[in-house]
Amino acid sequence: MRWLALTLGLVAACATGAAWIYLRDWERPRLDAMQRLRARAAAQALFCCARRRDTCSDCRIEVLDARGPRRWRIRIVGAAATRCFTLDLDAIHASPTRSPAGVRPTGCPS
């Protein structure tokens, strides 16, 4: 009878521990997750991989925060420098002759 109680106690402790870890690490789904992905993809296409394909691995993009509806502040970390921009997902498009539309330089947070 002691072994049964010990076994049930261990199973209960494992289940409680697993439930606690799940609840501790659980995050609510973000409603803006798709827009974040679109902002990251647009920034990668405009800044990181626009000229040469070999620069794609040297470039890192961080989507920082929303600046309004469908406007995102991003940080681009490359081999040369770190810069921040505001992307307007409704107005963004690349132009081969001019700088991309819908992109404005902004300050980076510390």
Which pLDDT tens digit goes with each residue over 41-89?
888 877 776 656 555 667 888 888 888 888 889 898 877 778 888 888 8
- Whether residue 74 is contained in a domain is answered as yes
pLDDT in tens, 8-40: 999 999 999 999 999 998 877 777 788 888 888
* Number of other residues whose CB lies within 10 A of the CB of residue 72: 23
pLDDT, average across residues 90-95 = 73
Q: Which domain holds residue 84?
A: 34-106
Q: In angstroms, what CA-CA distances link 100 with 36, 42, 66, 74, 94?
A: 19, 11, 20, 15, 5
- Whether residue 14 is contained in a domain is answered as no
pLDDT of residue 103: 85
Overall domain count for the chain: 1
pLDDT of residue 3: 92
- Between CA 90 and CA 47 the distance in angstroms is 18
- Whether residue 58 is contained in a domain is answered as yes
- Whether residue 20 is contained in a domain is answered as no
The answer to whether residues 91 and 109 touch, using CB atoms and an 8 Å cutoff, is no
Q: 28 CB contacts (<8 Å, ≥6 apart)?
A: none
- Whether residue 62 is contained in a domain is answered as yes
- Between CA 74 and CA 107 the distance in angstroms is 10
